[in-house]
Amino acid sequence: MQDLEQFRLDVRQWLEDNCPESQRQPITPEEQYFGGRNATFPSEDARIWFERFRDKGWVCPEWPTEYGGGGLSPQQGKVIKEEMKAIRARTPLYGIGIWMLGPALLEFGNEAQKQQHIRDIIDGKVRWAQGYSEPGSGSDLASLQCKAEDMGDHFLVNGSKIWTTAADKCDWIFCLVRTDPDAKKQEGISFLLIDMDDPGITTTPIELISGESEFCQTFFDNVRVPKENLVGELNAGWSVAKALLVHERKLMSEIGSDSPREVVVPNQAARQYLEFEDGKIADAELRSRLVDYDMEMHAVGLTHFRTFEEKVAGVRSAAPLVMKYVGTEAEKQKSELLLAIMGSQGLGWEGEGFNRAEIDTLRLWAMSYAMTIAGGTSEVQLNVIAKNVLELPQG
Ligand SMILES: Cc1cc2nc3c(=O)[nH]c(=O)nc-3n(C[C@H](O)[C@H](O)[C@H](O)COP(=O)(O)OP(=O)(O)OC[C@H]3O[C@@H](n4cnc5c(N)ncnc54)[C@H](O)[C@@H]3O)c2cc1C
């Protein structure tokens, strides 16, 4: 405990000495740095901050040192996060490689794969895309059809993936592919790492209602993938896929507490936008919603804390499974409440008359719905909880 307190003081001092002033404030989505072969830093300070952070070993503080990680304990990793949050230090590097692929590769990858990919993820040299969903396979992911035929010295991949976030900006993609069409659906799937520069891969952005285009459909037309890019055993990719999803869902369960944007808190917004009578919010319905929300968030915070303590103690728990559903639904509830509090000021997608926080609130509201879909929809999460946690009879 003493050591952890000393560690906290050291972290605080290091951040004070090394985090540029400009990197201690919320960022716009455009300023988030995802790395990659063709990436440029949004500013010189962002570059300096990333390089210092990387050299300190804190991009992935808990990953093993032999691959470029910090070799720290989960408690130390948590302290770094807390101290960064306290001074509003920006996360210097984001990415699916850090959140999802890295942890899965550390568990299932062979030595050569770890050597080839882990350090590049930490150094921000390679940006990864996730190739899971297909036009006919989302919630029922195991029905996927994108196929990889064994051609002796390589796999030949044909098919397409959809909703591949930022695939047009990514360098590599990890994909679930069908390698045995005759096996039971989960048993005929393999997990492949594919270089997006390989001939036969094309990406088509999917335009969203916002006019922005975050997603792509990614097509594979006779793409030759070296055999050494298979992670885990042939036809055993479903286990890798599920383990990776656990990391994705953990990330999403914490989405509200780790937003890079200027986040408006309902209580704060209430003081700014609502009328008060005798020291209380005049609108009784909104007052009651705020209290509900506060209690809910307190419970979510305590459960996150419990989940962390259970992880450190090596206790198996159902909480991580439940928290993707709870965390993303709470975020949706918060956004709904904020818009109700802001009234007509919460209706600005862009343009005059709305400040940045108001515009971001509306955009985060739209995003909060997307988060209840990505990584497994809320309905499907409830099915999983019913089956695996509550062990309810299946209909
Ligand atoms: C922001 C965002 C980012 C994403 N990024 C990626 C990415 O990078 N890579 C990737 O591969 N995919 C990505 N996805 C896709 C995501 O994984 C799928 O959208 C999700 O798994 C749902 O699949 P679907 O869209 O095909 O919906 P469907 O499976 O068609 O579901 C439609 C509706 O039916 C409901 N439903 C389906 N089955 C059941 C059931 N058994 N019981 C009850 N209700 C059911 C669902 O809850 C949903 O409401 C992303 C999605 C979003 C929103």
Q: What is the DSSP string of 105-116?
A: HHHH--HHHHHH
C-alpha–C-alpha distance, residues 165 and 7, integer Å? 37
Sign of CA dihedral 18, 21, 25, 27: negative
Report CA-CA distances (Å) from 154 to 5, 225, 226, 258, 294.
52, 6, 5, 41, 55
Please give the average per-residue pLDDT across 307-329, as a whole number. Answer: 86
C-alpha–C-alpha distance, residues 320 and 23, integer Å? 31
> Up-side HSE of residue 282: CA atoms within 13 Å toward CB?
5
Q: What type of residue is 284?
A: A
Please give the average per-residue pLDDT across 109-120, as a whole number. Answer: 98
Residue with tokens 């948590």: 78
Task: Quote the tokens at residue 359.
Answer: 């515009």
Give tens-digit pLDDT for 229-272: 999 999 999 999 999 999 998 888 877 665 555 667 898 999 99
More confident of the two residues 37 and 320: 37
Q: Tell me what pLDDT residue 262 has.
A: 60
CB 300, CB 330: distance < 8 Å: yes
Rg (CA), the chain: 22
Ligand 1 centre distance from Cα of residue 136 (Å): 10
Give tens-digit pLDDT for 278-292: 999 999 999 999 999
For ligand 1, which residues put their CB under 6 angstroms from it?
Answer: 130-133, 138-139, 161, 163-165, 370, 373-374, 376-377, 379-380, 383
Residue nearest atom 26 in ligand 1 by C-alpha distance = 138
Q: Tell me what pLDDT residue 210 has.
A: 67
Q: Tell me what pLDDT residue 229 has.
A: 98
C-alpha–C-alpha distance, residues 122 and 65, integer Å? 11
Pocket test for ligand 1, best of 373, 378, 384, 387 (most atoms within 8 A of CB): 373
Ligand 1 centre distance from Cα of residue 140 (Å): 9
Ligand 1 centre distance from Cα of residue 142 (Å): 13
C-alpha–C-alpha distance, residues 139 and 161, integer Å? 14
C-alpha–C-alpha distance, residues 174 and 231, integer Å? 9
Hey, is 163 helix, strand or coil?
A: strand
> Up-side HSE of residue 251: CA atoms within 13 Å toward CB?
19
C-alpha–C-alpha distance, residues 346 and 362, integer Å? 6
Q: State CA 41 to chain mean position distance.
A: 20
Q: What are 223's strand-pairing partners?
A: 157
Q: Indicate the pairing of strand 230-231 with strand 276-277.
A: unpaired
Q: What is the DSSP string of 115-145?
A: HHHHHHHHTT---EEEE--BTTBSTTGGG--
Q: Tell me what pLDDT residue 382 has.
A: 95
First to last CA, the chain: 49
Q: pLDDT band at residue 1, thresholds of 50, 70 and 90?
A: low
Q: Alpha helices, DSSP H only, in the chain?
A: 2-18, 44-56, 74-86, 96, 102-108, 111-122, 237-253, 266-273, 284-312, 319-342, 356-371, 378-384
Q: pLDDT band at residue 314, thresholds of 50, 70 and 90?
A: confident
Burial class for 45, CB neighbours closer than 10 Å (0-12, 13-18, 19+): middle
Ligand 1 centre distance from Cα of residue 77 (Å): 31
- The secondary structure of 166-215, three-state, reads CHHHCCEEEEEEECCCCCCHHHHEEEEEEECCCCCEEEEEECCCCCCCCE
Ligand 1 centre distance from Cα of residue 135 (Å): 10
Domains and their CATH numbers in the chain: 2-94 (1.10.540), 128-235 (2.40.110.10), 254-389 (1.20.140.10)
More confident of the two residues 269 and 29: 269
Secondary structure letter of residue 43 according to DSSP: S
Q: Tell me what pLDDT residue 260 has.
A: 54
> Up-side HSE of residue 134: CA atoms within 13 Å toward CB?
19
Please give the average per-residue pLDDT across 31-37, as a whole number. Answer: 95
Task: Quote the tokens at residue 311.
Answer: 């992880």
Give tens-digit pLDDT for 60-112: 999 999 999 999 999 999 999 999 999 999 999 999 999 999 999 999 999 99
